[in-house]
Chains A and B, each alone.
Chain A
Amino acid sequence: EPEVTQTPSHQVTQMGQEVILRCVPISNHLYFYWYRQILGQKVEFLVSFYNNEISEKSEIFDDQFSVERPDGSNFTLKIRSTKLEDSAMYFCASSEQAGGNQPQHFGDGTRLSIL
């Protein structure tokens, strides 16, 4: 069964540094998402992306964050000038189409630790 893959599985970064989290969505999927889960808290929506632009973003997704589809397979989340509170598990997801009735398929996540 096709899967969403994320790299790296664990990223350790000094506070203030930039970090790029990478995702390869399922190949025929058109909609891409990033979520995060701070330890002990809920999984939270960050952003959705379609046709090379952001379609929706949450209040968490401020100017510190950006997303990009640099080529036909990768989908990246960049965090500029990381803060301690950015430490979390970051999940990428993709779906074949948009709409609430389209299941989102998740990757294994990247654990981001900010020191």
Chain B
Amino acid sequence: AQSVSQHNHHVILSEAASLELGCNYSYGGTVNLFWYVQYPGQHLQLLLKYFSGDPLVKGIKGFEAEFIKSKFSFNLRKPSVQWSDTAEYFCAVNAPGNNRLAFGKGNQVVVIP
């Protein structure tokens, strides 16, 4: 079974600071990787996804993530955060041919103006 780990559940930082959220998964085969964001009072929205190809993927709102196969990681980054990036961020994984998403516990990010 796939499992996903996200650390540092609560992150507080100031505007213009850089953000990096770690995501590690345990699954031996090929995986599809996702980051979702949930802004306060809103639904989960897809930030970015990785299926194959260039391991550095760019998503919406200036976010990017890097897939490192040897480390079973898919960390999310943003060089300079804004107050509007305050949200909860979820890493999710599934295997090709498998419909279910396995989610991490999420990172609650608060950006202070």
Which A residues form the contact surface with B (CB < 8 A)? Answer: 3-4, 31, 33, 35, 41-45, 48, 55-56, 58, 91, 93, 98-101, 103-109
Contact = CB atoms under 8 A, between A and B. Distances in A.
Interface of B: 4, 31-32, 34, 36, 42-46, 49, 51, 90, 92, 94-106
Given A99-B96, A100-B94, A101-B51, A45 B101 contact: yes
Contacts of A48: 99-100
Given A48-B99, A100-B96, 9 more contacts: A33-B99, A44-B103, A45-B101, A56-B98, A58-B100, A91-B43, A100-B51, A106-B44, A106-B45
Contacts, number: 63
A42 B44 contact: no
A109 B103 CA distance: 16
Given A42-B104, A42-B105, A43-B90, A100 B42 contact: no
Given A99-B96, A100-B32, A101-B32, A45 B102 contact: yes
A104 B81 CA distance: 26
Given A42-B104, A103-B49, A31 B43 contact: no
Contacts of A31: 99
Nearest to B50: A101
Contacts of B42: 108
A41 to B, nearest CB: 7
A101 B96 contact: yes
Contacts of B43: 3-4, 91, 106-109
Nearest to B90: A43
Nearest to A37: B103
Given A41-B105, A42-B104, A99 B46 contact: no
Interface centre among B90, B101, B105 (most CB of A within 10 A): B101
